[in-house]
Amino acid sequence: MLNTAPAAPLRRPAALMPVVTTGILPTDAATVIRQHFVPILGPVAGHSRARITRLSEPGLIRPIVAQVDVRLGHHGVRAQVAAATMSEVVGLLATRTIEQLQLFPTALARCLRERPATSPPPWPPELRPPHDRRLARHKNCRLTTMTVGEAIAMLETMDYRFHLFRERYSGQDSVVVRAGSGSRRILQPVPNPIGIDLGSPPLVLAAAPRSSVAAARARLDLTGAPFEVFTDKAIGRACVLYARYDGHYGILRPTGAARRSA
């Protein structure tokens, strides 16, 4: 559990909690979200926002995707789920938000602070049949320089499946992912243990295999995995090809030239 106490946010009426809805949803979807989340978020509800989207792609089993972002001083906390119906998505999102905010327990109502986690992490997005998938999004990002510990904290608080960053001491492109049993895996183009404590939490340092985007996509077509971390042969950088909630693929790439490891 993170011990950092969030700075007290400026107050504004919880009824103003922004809720953005997209796609075909019940007309009272935003009202239902506010009714459920204002008691959970309390004074920070007015400094939180929610997004509910019904995806239009046919054949999806869980077409409703919901996300809550909570701002706690300098910290952000996010929860995201997908479900088949509006009532299901509200329940799953409420449970996941409570679990995420236990990282900052003072942001929860007292009766919720010691509530044990009752659900596994959200399921990854479902994929369409391989012949129907396309590379729907190319996202280039400027990597933030941080330690592995900071990257793990970002992975957890933002409910990410993976987090791409520049490791502070080696200067390497790095991706942190969950590896089961509370451990984390760090993948780099050329694994460099400088500045990385492999003991707490348990970490595995591994190479991100060199691959073309086409080969990485072929592996996801074959395995149905939620993402593939690889070193793009064309640019020499760590990239992630990942499943989107619409059943297609996206790719995350760093911008700029690769740095030589220390």
Predicted confidence (pLDDT) at residue 226 exceeds the cutoff of 60: yes
User: CA–CA separation, 41 vs 242, rounded Å?
Assistant: 31
Cα separation values, 168 from 10, 59, 187, Å: 33, 43, 14
The contacts of residue 98 (CB under 8 Å, 6+ apart) are 40, 108, 112, 115
Helices (H) and strands (E) in the chain, counts: 4, 14
* Helix, strand or coil, per DSSP, at residue 25: coil
Whole-model pTM?
Answer: 0.84
Provide the percentage of residues in the chain whose pLDDT is more than 70: 85
pLDDT band with cut points at 50, 70 and 90 for residue 112: confident
| Residue 155 near residue 162, CB atoms below 8 Å | yes
Q: In the prediction, which pLDDT does 87 show?
A: 93
Q: In the prediction, which pLDDT does 105 show?
A: 74
Predicted confidence (pLDDT) at residue 199 exceeds the cutoff of 70: no
